[in-house]
Structure 1
């Protein structure tokens, strides 16, 4: 029996649902969850697992733009088009994996279960050494009642009952054949497809936190669960200065603003993004912008400073943290920052992948004192708050 090491164990994330029960303007898998889309948190959980060799996502192609934004930078293969039902979507995903080269194992997981943990993933994989299928599940603890016209009709014996979750893992050839044979039927989950084909499926104890985000209350619960684990709160500060030079625009907080001069610097001399990058790096105790992007390196000549800020945000994500707040103050006499503040905040939020309500951009002058008062350059200071796992 092959062991599930990369690249023979693939996670298939099912994200084709419309989320009608949730009632939002977009499917729930694309909504924000503590600074990241729900889908991104789910995908990252499997990408981090050492026994998972790759991730493929099944989506509703009508939401391709939302999908691309949610998984930007993760290096995933093109998503698979979903079908009319979840069962159809899974089968489409399995067929796509088979076309790429049949893996030994596949883990089928709901995109709306973003709190899946490494131990549960590993336990499902381990169970496949003995059984053709295995699912994460939780024993039923509550007393069960069967309803009858709004009243209790009977008490159901809960002995031996489990609530099925995902991931549901299978030896790939067996589940592909089972799904092909079940085409056109309406089965509740992949374990039911496997059971119909006569495959033995193991129950792997999971955790209550591995719940499916179905309602706004579920999203609130998931947010609280994530934030409660991020109790190591860090604050970092940054400061940057660039002098004026010849030119007809300056770059501030990711925007090109017309001006009588440009700013001198090895990159695009964006003082706002430089200061904020240093603030985030400071919160991580990870050096400064110069240690990550040396001004002597020709690769960064004229570079878009958004790359620097994105790098700092990626470092936070790699440590399992979130950026809680970013505050930038631009110090200059000219150009006037006020007309551009909202757009600057939106651009920073876009680069960091956080809500715009977590970004503040302000401006002030030095009352014509000092080099900024003499209009010789622009300065910026920034403060960032980062939450990391304790």
Structure 2
């Protein structure tokens, strides 16, 4: 049996937990297919951090929580280590075929810690607050579980059997006394462990249902509207919008002259031409302008500040390194690049046949969807140095979103 836990404010907890360990079990083994293509949703970023990291940090920071254990998909160990490997967590537990199996595996893994209570939390609810965790724990007794929930305020309709494509209402469901369950759901550890083993092989919707099926009561405590479960792409978009409220626009401009050669690097694409662009690096005028646009939005100097042309190590360097560096600076500030737009100004080479490849390459460098990248071209109507085909100019704009600083 572990040593009794000493806490600064044990009076904020039920008496039976004042000197007993409290564990948090973060369930992160799902695939999250409704969130769209890409990584499992618990490893996607919301603002500067992954969903899993935000959830884990909320419990690590809570003074009543002594142990945090994650249940993960066996294939996700590398993603897990990248997301939370620096936080000093206990070894993660391999999940099962269903959420219920995963939770049971996690509960079994906690046996050595012998916690007095366990908080079971869906990783996808990454905006859980310390206040909500505390309220849920405060409602526990040695025999009673507790879950946060919100009363149903919308009118509920039951669908009639039949055509799923054209559903018809069968009846209106009275909403009085109905609640929407959230997590973390808290339980006395020995009781929820026994209940889970008794329910093995049955499919129940949450851990409270398993506790209820064992004949044990579960209390409702006030949930929180912000404790949303991120499920769909729209959920992620709303979460980002709520976090990244400092919207900024930066612009960039660059010019490079032609010199003898057989191609020009433009927006990361090798474009055949009877001349190349002259510069210390590969002289990709489009990527240079775009790099300056992102740096401008950050208020962080320009491309020459970060990559001085006097430094020989950048001689002949591929300009995608410069653009990737600017994108990394945005990420380091907890931000996101929302959209970029590049205009190439030249008579030749013709840009149209290469625009799609340029968009795809810029999107790849910035890890953006292609529909958030614009590349277009214009001429100067034979006027000026571009009209005389002495070189190419480019202008760019970048919109970024950063967390609002307090």
> What range describes the TM-score normalised by the shorter chain of this pair?
0.5 to 0.7
Q: Sort the Cα spacing of 1:191 and 1:365 in 2 relative to 1 into closer, same or farther, 3 A.
A: same
Structure 1 residue 237 displacement after superposition: 0.5
Aligned pairs, how many? 355
Superposed, which structure 2 residues align to 1:61-210 within 5 Å? 83-90=96-103, 108-109=121-122, 111=124, 116-117=126-127, 120-123=128-131, 126=134, 136-141=148-153, 150-151=170-171, 155=174, 157-158=176-177, 162-168=179-185, 182-193=199-210, 205-210=222-227
Secondary structure at 1:15 match in 2: coil
Which residues in structure 2 correspond to 1:318-357 (within 5 Å)? Answer: 318-319=332-333, 321-357=335-371
Which residue of 1 is the match for residue 164 of structure 2? none
- Cα distance change, pair 220–93 in 1 and its aligned pair in 2 (3 A): same
> Displacement, 1:341?
0.4
**For residues 103 and 282 of structure 1, do their structure 2 counterparts lie closer, same or farther at Cα, with a shift above 3 Å needed?**
farther
Flag the 1:304–1:197 CA change in 2: closer, same or farther, 3 A.
Answer: farther
Q: Which entry has the higher C-alpha Rg, 1 or 2?
A: 2
Q: Distance in 2 between matches of 1:11 and 1:299?
A: 46
2:44 equivalent in structure 1: 40
Deviations 1:83-131 (A, max 9, x none): 5433235556788x88xx98998763254x5xx42xx243455568766
5+ residue gaps in structure 1? 18-26
* Cα distance in structure 1, aligned partners of 2:250 and 2:114: 45
Q: 1:144 to 1:93 in 2, by over 3 A?
A: same
Paired position in structure 1 for 2:269: 255
Match for 1:29 among 23, 26, 35? 35
TM-score, length-scaled by structure 2: 0.64
**In 2, are the aligned partners of 1:16 and 1:82 still within 8 Å (CA)?**
no
Provide closer, same or farther for how the CA distance between residues 207 and 127 of structure 1 changes in structure 2, counting only shifts above 3 A: closer
1:15 aligns with one of 30, 39, 59 = 30
The 1-side partners of 2:235 and 2:255 are apart by 43
2:50 is paired with a residue whose SS is helix
Offset of 1:382 from its aligned partner? 0.2
Alignment of 1:212-361 (within 5 A): 212=229, 220=234, 223=237, 226-227=240-241, 232-245=246-259, 247-296=261-310, 300=314, 302-319=316-333, 321-361=335-375
**Helix, strand or coil for the counterpart of 1:312?**
helix
* Deviation string, structure 1 residues 261-297 (Cα, Å, up to 9, x no partner): 4444444432212211211221232322333444455
In structure 2, what is the Cα distance between the partners aligned to 1:145 and 1:16?
29
Q: Where in structure 2 are there 5+ consecutive unaligned residues? A: 8-22, 61-67, 86-91, 162-169
In structure 2, the CA distance between the partners of 1:162 and 1:310, relative to structure 1 (3 Å rule), is farther
Following the alignment from structure 1 to structure 2, what is the Cα–Cα distance between the partners of residues 200 and 192?
10
Distance across 1 between alignment mates of 2:369 and 2:175: 45
Partner residue of 2:376 out of 339, 344, 362: 362
The separation in 1 between residues aligned to 2:321 and 2:355, in whole angstroms, is 21
- In structure 2, what is the Cα distance between the partners aligned to 1:245 and 1:91? 68
